[in-house]
Structure 1
């Protein structure tokens, strides 16, 4: 965490606070193909919204993200941004 903070020119306290979290989180949206999507799919499944883990942010992943967002009173836009990630990893 400290190395990441230093590289991002943030205070290097080793704590993932609001400034670090904002830089750390990758916003994902439909059409994205990456290992970050795979991580999102794993987190969705771990939170009861089972989806195929293939690294592709397709229609099934979008549907599961929207369902997760609705269940957690987030804006159900299908985009995995900071608030969605925070809810996914805080469970």
Structure 2
């Protein structure tokens, strides 16, 4: 199955603004991980960007997962891009 990289940007004051949506966000990520579609996800240390790896049937599936996340729906993630990734090693 293809793998995809997602890079996104966080809003300003992310730690404060994400608080009301954090648990729903984490619950959704846990479900994606258990289903095997989300391989890993996390912010950069400076909390400016988010990085994720997905294993999904197509890019559309990844975009649906991102856009159904509370962080996207509530402006915590301000934009993102998805690229198919070839794992060399």
TM-score past 0.5 threshold: no
More strand by share: 2
What is the TM-score with the length of structure 2 in the denominator?
0.31
Mark the structure with the bigger radius of gyration. 1
More helix by share: 1
What is the TM-score with the length of structure 1 in the denominator?
0.30
Highest relative contact order (Cα 8 Å, sep 6+), 1 or 2? 2
